């Protein structure tokens, strides 16, 4: 089999756009919001530890190693509740701890916008998700597609079982320009949500709110409910993506207005 050149180009462009989005935003906003690179690194580290290590280890135990839990989660409603909560708890606890540490540092720049640390952290956290969950995965499929077009894929996958090789071929056969567009939309929306959740958490931590952690966990869980419902085959993908696009636009508008007002206040002081 082979992947059409148009599909390969679209997938490559979508992957490149997702890869460059957090980098370009960091470079563009670094000076206006007086970013501290340590805040962004903290966001990357928290996602890497709490989402890719702790959350995956918990999911592996609950879904594969514990028969009782796995059986209970075979119920679609239970799976949706678990899937929405586990990401919220793991990521928001990590975000909360990191921002408590960030908040202890003295301001670096006089009259710097108050949302700077939240935005810098959010770009790191959301950028790490964009790369780990999106870019690196799609790069693998791009490589597989190139190998398939050269007739070298089966040789490259010779160490896998026949079922795994067949699965790779089926996924490659399903790739299309539409798939590339859906991938870009989903990753951009996820990035916007992560930045929004980071600003929300930063505002709560900065204000000394004791309820910000459960509020952030609930907000994160609500964001993850549609994706969990799709995984449980309760709703179609088009409905989930449409909802995410609308919600991401709303969050982006709120972030833009909030951060623009913060910059105006900082300049006026």
d(CA 197, CA 172) in angstroms, rounded, equals: 34
Query: Domain count of the chain?
Result: 1
Structural domain boundaries, residue 204:
5-268
Read off the pTM. Answer: 0.91
Tell me the pLDDT of the chain (269 aa) as tens digits.
Answer: 688 999 999 999 999 999 999 999 999 999 888 899 999 999 999 999 999 999 999 989 988 888 888 888 888 899 999 989 999 999 999 999 999 999 987 555 555 567 889 999 999 999 999 999 999 999 999 999 999 999 898 888 888 888 888 999 899 999 999 999 999 999 999 999 999 999 999 999 999 998 999 999 999 999 999 999 998 889 999 999 999 999 999 999 999 888 776 554 444 43
For 150, the token pair is 């050269």
């Amino acid at each position: 089999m082979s992947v059409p050149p148009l599909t390969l180009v679209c997938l490559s462009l979508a992957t490149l756009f997702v890869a460059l989005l957090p980098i370009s935003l960091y470079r563009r906003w670094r000076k206006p919001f007086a970013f501290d690179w340590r805040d962004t690194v903290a966001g990357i580290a928290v996602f890497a530890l709490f989402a890719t290590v702790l959350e995956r280890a918990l999911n592996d135990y609950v879904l594969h190693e514990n028969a009782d839990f796995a059986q209970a989660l075979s119920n679609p409603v239970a799976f949706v509740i678990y899937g929405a909560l586990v990401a919220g708890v793991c990521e928001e606890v990590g975000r909360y701890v990191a921002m408590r540490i960030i908040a202890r540092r003295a301001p670096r720049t006089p009259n710097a916008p108050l949302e700077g640390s939240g935005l810098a952290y959010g770009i790191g956290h959301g950028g790490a998700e964009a790369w780990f969950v999106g870019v690196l995965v799609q790069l693998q499929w791009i490589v597989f597609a190139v190998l398939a077009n050269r007739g070298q894929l089966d040789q490259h996958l010779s160490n896998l079982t026949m079922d795994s090789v067949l699965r790779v071929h089926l996924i490659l056969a399903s790739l299309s320009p539409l798939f590339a567009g859906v991938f870009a939309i989903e990753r951009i929306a996820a990035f916007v949500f992560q930045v929004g959740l980071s600003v929300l958490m930063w505002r709560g931590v900065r204000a000394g709110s004791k309820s910000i952690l459960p509020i952030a966990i609930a907000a994160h869980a609500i964001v993850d409910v549609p994706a969990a419902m799709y995984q449980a085959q309760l709703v179609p993908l088009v409905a989930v993506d449409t909802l995410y696009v609308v919600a991401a636009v709303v969050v982006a508008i709120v972030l833009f207005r909030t951060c623009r007002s913060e910059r105006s206040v900082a300049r006026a002081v």
